[in-house]
Amino acid sequence: MPETVFAKIIRGEIPARIVHEDERCLAFHDVQPQAPVHVLVIPKKPVENVAALEGGDEALAGHLVLVAAEVARALGITDGYRLVFNCGRDGGQSVDHLHLHLLAGRRLGWPPG
């Protein structure tokens, strides 16, 4: 997997507004927010995207979702939110490191694309 900005954030080489960190993941505010609240939840394990998840990664994928819900509660989000995994260029993925978007703070339209 190529070196990414997220790997540098995990190592502390690039500053981030961190809202959660544990042994498996990191959650921080997106520097180019697409909603009033836009937090990224990323695994510390280098995984390119959802398609690169393998058997045995179920606990990691589930952990990312549970952390996103915990972060939403901690930020006081009560009117709803959206969780999004983008996968590949056509799916809108811009960094080749698995990341879950937590979007909130306004009514989110549908369809999203």
Chain centroid to CA 22: 14
Could you give the residue ranges of the DSSP H alpha helices within the chain? 5-10, 58-74
Q: Enumerate the active-site residues.
A: 99
Q: What length does the chain have?
A: 113
Supply angle C-alpha 10, 12, 18, rounded to 5.
Answer: 70
